[in-house]
Structure formats: C-alpha cells, structure tokens
C-alpha cells in the first residue's frame, strides 16, 4: 500500500511539472474600432484580433449602448480573415458611447478570456469601461484534475518505457512494468475524457482532435500492458515506430516497450500541441516545450519505474546484488542528469520568452509557480545527486545501500507532493509576457513597483497613455496621483504634464497631445501613493513620422522637371538615463532585395538635434531590408525596414 502511494505521489508530481508548460489564453491585441476610438460615423462591424487563435463557436462579441443597455451586435461571431481575428456585424447605431464586451475561447486549449473596450461616435464623452471580474477565469477543478491525470499518465508511460528500454537490466520482471504501463494508460484516457467533459459543447474541434489522439495513445499504453502477445507482433512495432524501430536490435527484442514509448511520445506531443507555445505559432517555442515535456517524463516517470521495478523488487543481500543494483542506479542517474539538464535548459529559454522582468518570478502568479517549481526541482536534483554520489558508489562497491536509496527516492516523492499543493492552481495562469495592442509597451521595476507603460499609437498627435501599476501580486489602486511628464529629446519643447485617472484596478490612463512632433520623447511617470515617497522613472518613447518606421522621407525636391524624394534614415541614440548620446560612430549594413553599400552615419547636433544620426541612403529597392546598426565596437542591433514602391 505504501508503495502504491509512492507511485501515485511521484506520478502526480510529474504531472504538475508538466502542466506548467501548457497554457494558452486568447488575449485582446487590437480591434477595429480601436479601444477608446472616437468615430465620426457608425461602424458596420466590430473586428477584434487576439494573441492566439480563438474558436468562433465558443466566443462572443457584444456591442452595448451604455445609455440604454441595448445590444446592437447582429448575427453570429465569425472569423474576420485577420490573423486570430473575429468579427461581428453591428446594426444601425447613432451617436453615443458604446462598450464592446468580448469573450474569447482559445481554439488551442479551450481557455476563456474576457474583456471590454469602449468607443464613441460623435462628440460625446467616452463611456466608462466596466471592470471584468475575471478576465481569465481560473480553470475548473475538473479541468485541473483532467490535466493532472493525463499529464501524469504521459510521464509515467513515457518514463517507464524509457527506463525499461534503456536503463533497466535485461532480467527485469515484466509484470511490474505492465502495472505501471496499465496505470499510465488509464490515467491518460481518464484525464483526456475529463478534459473533454469539462469543455462540453464548447469543445474546440482542434482541441477535441488532440484529446482524442491522447486518449488513443492512452488506450495503446493500456493495451500493451494487458495484451503482450498482441504487442509482440512485429508489424505493430513497425507501425508504432514508423519503421525505425524495426531496424537492428530495436526491431525484435522489445516491441511492446517500443510501442509504449511511441505511445508516450505521441501523447507528449499532444501536450505540446495544445500549449501556449503552439498557440503563439513559434516553432522554436514548440521545440522547447516538447523537449521540456519529454525530459520531465523521462525523469519523473523514470524515478517511479526505478522505485517500483528495481528498488522495491530487488535485493542487495549479497555484494553481487548490490553491485548490479548500483550499476542500474548509475545508468538511471546518467539518464536523469541528461534529462534534467535538458529540462532546465528548455525551461530557462522558455522563461526568457514568458517573463518580462526577473521580478516577475515573485511578482506574478505565473512567476511564483515557476519559482516554486525551480526551487523544488533544485531540491529534487540535490537528492538525486546524493543518490548518485553517496549511495551509488556504495552499491557499486558491493556495500548495502538499497534501504537508504528507497528512503531518498521517497523524499523526492515528498517534494513532488509539495509541488502539487503549491502549483496546481497557479499553473493555470497566463505568463506575464503577452502580445500588446499598444505601439509602445515597456515594463520597469522601480522602488518595489512594477510599472508597465503603454502608448496606444506610435505616431505624433493625440494619443492614449496608460500606466499599469502593480506591487507584488496585486494592482495598486487608489493612487493619490499618477502623472506623465513629456520632454522631447532632440528639441527643447518644454515640459508638459498629463494627470491620469484610474480606469480599472491598477490601470491609470491619460489622453492628450503632448507628443506633437515626431522624434524621441522622454515620458517621466510619477506615482504618488499615500504616505510614501513618489515613485518616478523615465520611459524613452520613439514617436514616428507619418508613414511610420525608422525611415523618413524628406520633403520632395523639384530639380528641373523632376521630383526627387530623398530617403533618409535617422537613428537616435539614447542613454540609460533617457538623454541623447552624442559623439558615437554609427555604421549601418544592409541586406535585402539588392545590394547596398554599408554607410557611416553623419552627426550634426546643431542641425538634427543632439543624439540624432543620419544615414544618407541614395535609394533602396522595394522590399524588406534588414538593417544592422553598429555603435562603434560597443554592440550591434538589427531591424527590418519595409520599402514600398
């Protein structure tokens, strides 16, 4: 009974380690009409673009008249044709303020997100945007349980198959691995069914297919454990392994284990295919996620297999027994070390994409869950290292150490249980790094506050400025004052101030036209909280000329009968303090549709303004160019420049 509890705990621990990798939320990116837009005539439809593919069937867009509360959206929500976009038709509406309340269901994992934005037709005021109580509702207990079960099954099946194929000695009792594979199969099937039931009628088709594949893989795992004769058939092994497994020694000796391994890998693949990485459409993220899932499975499932199939089934009464057990432990330790190295490498690389600041590790729910997992993985690694360095050598020297090894492996189990308690709820949250609808979105951590500055448009003129203020895990509400002060870097245009109002919890918004001229602007944010000193920092915001991009067309020249348009490329170098940096050597190299010689920048503070460097480009062929800028020997950076005809 105690042994069974150990297995269950290990399996659930592995589940939680896995579950952190799979999150997807369709968040608002942009819309037409834009949020807070002021229109001269009524729109015929509302189009919203999300960060991830939404499922129209489970999504909703309501257009509400704030004066009467009447709905004006007509017809169903349909794909808009934009990437990750939805649309809904709007009936005839007159001047006034309207709120668009949207609900999006991710086509990837079925998670629901909600939000509101407002627009106004005519000269009236913008209506207040109602707060959404749960913008990303936490998953139901059924979903958490379903995910935990299916992921634990994946880890157990894959880890066991890997262990018995590549780590365990040849004489291992096949009945014990059958138990593990059977449990794994049942867990995967049960978990997949629970996820399908949880989604109910709004189950996105793609998610349904993925869960179906996962359940089938679970059935295969269960089948190979109870019908070994069927699994011994060579064609089945060939199909499961894509033919590769029929080659050489892999082909005939252990087909049932290979089928189990293939089924485990297939199930693991479905975990990646419903993850945040897949939703973002990045092959690199998907590869990292898959490596993460595989390595976690090999490690945690392997620990269970080592415990159940070897440590609890063998003896070290004689020196020879101890040496044999020591050799197995050594092989598993090497496998586990490689798996954990891959796990950590993939996890760190994923964290770079998902965290904005290092402070996110303790100031966002996702980061806290990640930090808990990192700490517990490190502790589990330390116990693994103890097994490797202390008990392993003893066993290999013929000294009894099996009891101590079981005790330490159970300690790892205890860590997995703590992981379950700490992370089972928090892992269901979206990572801090999310696509933004704003032209400018930067985050700084100042005096204990997390300040995220968003500027809606990148052009000069009227704009919306938003500061999101968080302290720890909570938004900072009721600030005495939140102000933006605007100073232009290149020219002395004085200083202007906008005082923000709190639109939603921790979201302070101001609207105005302080950045009336294109160039580089310093926006000093000031947050005043009762009883505290002001928290102030500076964001450097580029404001582009009409047409956008980094290139600007000078006024056309009339030379004889010709109109000459000179393409000029400016670079503004700004220091960490937000001030322009002069006296640097800038060098640009170009790669694109045709050849363009490298250029050195010309600096003329009196003419261009301080810190402003000009590259005179005779002309670039239409297309997308990659421009690599170098500042002396201090570093380089590249960006894309689209030249249209």
Residues in contact with another protein by CB under 8 A are 390, 480-481, 483, 485, 494-497, 526, 528-534, 536
- CB-wise, 530 or 563, nearer to another protein? 530
Residue 401 C-beta: closest distance to another protein, Å: 13
98 vs 521, which CB is nearer to another protein?
521
Tell me how far, at minimum, the Cβ of 565 lies from another protein, in Å.
Answer: 38
User: Which one, 198 or 363, has the nearer CB to another protein?
Assistant: 363
Q: Cis omega (within 30 of 0) on the bond before 282?
A: no
In terms of CB distance, is 219 or 581 closer to another protein?
581
Nearest CB to another protein, comparing residues 170 and 530: 530
Helix (H) or strand (E) holding 478: none
Q: What angle do CA 27, 30, 35 make, to 5 degrees?
A: 105
Contacting residues for 510 by C-beta, under 8 A, at least 6 apart = 464, 465, 466, 483, 484, 498, 499, 500, 501
User: Which residue's CB is nearer to another protein, number 227 or number 495?
Assistant: 495
What is d(CA 241, CA 263) in angstroms, rounded to the nearest whole number?
9
CB of 571 to another protein, least distance (A): 24
Residue with tokens 């290092």: 358
We find the least distance from the C-beta atom of residue 308 to another protein, in angstroms, to be 29
Backbone phi and psi for residue 310, each to the nearest 5 degrees, phi listed first? -115, -65
**Closest approach of Cβ 531 to another protein, in Å?**
5
Residue 533 or 634: which CB sits closer to another protein?
533
Quote the tokens at residue 156: 């157990």
The DSSP line for 422-472 is HHTTGGGS--S----SSSEEEEEEETTEEEEEEES-SBSSSEEEEEEEEET
> What are the C-alpha distances in Å from 34 to residues 30, 44, 90, 118?
7, 14, 15, 8
d(CA 214, CA 192): 7
* Contact predicate 184/177, CB 8 Å: no
Question: CA 343, CA 63: separation in Å to the nearest integer?
Answer: 46
Instruction: Tell me which residue of 325, 301, 323 sits closest to 313, measured CA to CA.
Output: 325
Map tokens 């004889």 to a residue. 560
Shortest Cβ 248–another protein spacing (Å): 43
CB of 255 to another protein, least distance (A): 45
Centre a 10 Å sphere on the Cβ of residue 344 and count the other Cβ atoms it contains: 16
Task: State residue 467 phi and psi, 5-degree precision.
Answer: -120, 120
- Strands 28-32 and 567-572: what pairing? unpaired
Question: What is the smallest separation between the CB atom of 391 and another protein, expressed in angstroms?
Answer: 12
Smallest distance from another protein to CB 586, Å: 24
Q: What is the CA radius of gyration of the chain?
A: 30
- Smallest distance, another protein to C-beta of residue 361, A: 15
Query: Cα(118)–Cα(420) distance, rounded to whole angstroms?
Result: 41
Strand partners, 49: 30, 85
Backbone phi, then psi, for 637, in 5-degree steps?
-155, 155
Q: Which is nearer to another protein, 114 or 528 (CB)?
A: 528
Smallest distance, another protein to C-beta of residue 352, A? 22
CB atoms under 10 Å from CB of 607, counted, come to: 9
Q: Is the Cβ of residue 39 or residue 529 nearer to another protein in the bound state?
A: 529
Q: Is the Cβ of residue 58 or residue 384 nearer to another protein in the bound state?
A: 384
- Judged by CB, which is closer to another protein: 92, or 530? 530
């Amino acid at each position: 009974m105690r042994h069974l509890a150990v297995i269950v705990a290990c399996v659930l621990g592995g589940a939680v380690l896995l579950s952190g990798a799979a999150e997807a939320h369709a968040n608002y990116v942009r819309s037409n009409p834009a949020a807070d837009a002021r229109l001269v005539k009524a729109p015929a439809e509302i189009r919203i673009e999300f960060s991830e593919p939404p499922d129209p069937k489970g999504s909703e867009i309501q257009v509400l008249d704030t004066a009467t509360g009447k709905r004006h959206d007509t017809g169903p929500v349909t794909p808009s044709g934009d990437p990750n976009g939805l649309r809904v038709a709007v009936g005839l509406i007159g001047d006034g303020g309207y709120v668009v309340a949207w609900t999006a269901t991710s086509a990837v994992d079925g998670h629901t997100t909600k939000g509101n934005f407002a627009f106004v037709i005519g000269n009236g005021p913008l209506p207040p945007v109602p707060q959404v109580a749960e913008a990303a509702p936490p998953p139901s207990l059924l979903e958490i349980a379903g995910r935990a079960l299916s992921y634990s099954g994946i880890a157990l099946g894959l880890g066991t198959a890997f262990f018995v194929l590549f780590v365990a000695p040849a004489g291992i009792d096949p009945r014990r691995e059958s138990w593990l594979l059977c449990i794994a199969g049942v867990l995967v099937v049960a978990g997949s069914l629970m996820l399908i039931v949880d989604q109910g009628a709004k189950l996105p088709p793609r998610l349904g297919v993925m869960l179906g594949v996962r359940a089938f893989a679970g059935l295969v795992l269960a089948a190979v454990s109870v019908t070994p004769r069927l699994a011994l058939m060579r064609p089945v092994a060939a199909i499961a392994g894509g033919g590769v497994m029929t080659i050489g020694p892999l082909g005939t000796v252990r087909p049932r284990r290979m089928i189990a391994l293939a089924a485990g890998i297939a199930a693991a693949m479905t975990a990646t295919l419903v993850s945040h990485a897949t939703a973002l459409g990045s092959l690199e993220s998907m590869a990292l996620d898959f490596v993460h899932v595989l390595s976690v499975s090999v490690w945690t499932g392997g620990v269970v297999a080592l415990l159940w199939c070897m440590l609890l089934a063998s003896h070290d009464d004689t020196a020879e027994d101890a040496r044999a057990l020591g050799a197995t432990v050594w092989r598993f330790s090497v496998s586990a070390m490689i798996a954990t190295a891959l796990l950590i490498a993939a996890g760190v690389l994923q964290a770079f994409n998902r965290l904005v600041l290092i402070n996110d590790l303790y100031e966002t729910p996702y980061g806290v869950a990640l930090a808990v997992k990192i700490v517990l993985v490190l502790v589990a690694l330390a116990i693994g290292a103890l097994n490797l360095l202390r008990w392993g050598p003893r066993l290999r020297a013929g000294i009894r150490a099996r009891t101590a090894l079981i005790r330490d492996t159970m300690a790892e189990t205890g860590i997995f249980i703590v992981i379950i308690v700490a992370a089972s709820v928090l892992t269901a949250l979206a990572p801090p790094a999310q696509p933004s609808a704003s032209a400018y979105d930067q985050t700084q951590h100042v005096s204990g506050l997390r300040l995220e500055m968003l500027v809606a448009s990148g052009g000069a003129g009227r704009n919306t400025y938003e500061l999101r203020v968080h302290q720890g895990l909570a938004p900072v509400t009721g600030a005495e004052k939140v102000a933006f002060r605007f100073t232009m870097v290149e020219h002395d245009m004085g200083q202007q101030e906008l005082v923000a109002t709190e639109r939603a919890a921790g979201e302070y918004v101001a609207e105005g036209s302080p950045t009336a001229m294109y160039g580089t602007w310093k926006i000093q944010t000031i947050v005043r909280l009762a009883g505290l000193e002001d928290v102030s920092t500076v964001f450097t915001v580029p404001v582009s000329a009409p047409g956008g991009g980094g290139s600007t067309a000078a006024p056309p020249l009339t030379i004889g009968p010709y109109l000459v348009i000179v393409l000029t490329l400016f670079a503004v170098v700004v220091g960490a303090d937000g001030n322009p940096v002069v006296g640097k050597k800038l060098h640009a190299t170009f790669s694109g549709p045709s050849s363009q010689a490298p250029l050195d920048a010309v600096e003329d503070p009196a003419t261009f303004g301080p810190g402003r460097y000009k590259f005179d480009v005779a002309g670039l062929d239409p297309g997308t160019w990659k421009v690599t800028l170098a500042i002396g020997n201090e570093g380089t950076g590249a960006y894309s420049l689209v030249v249209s005809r």
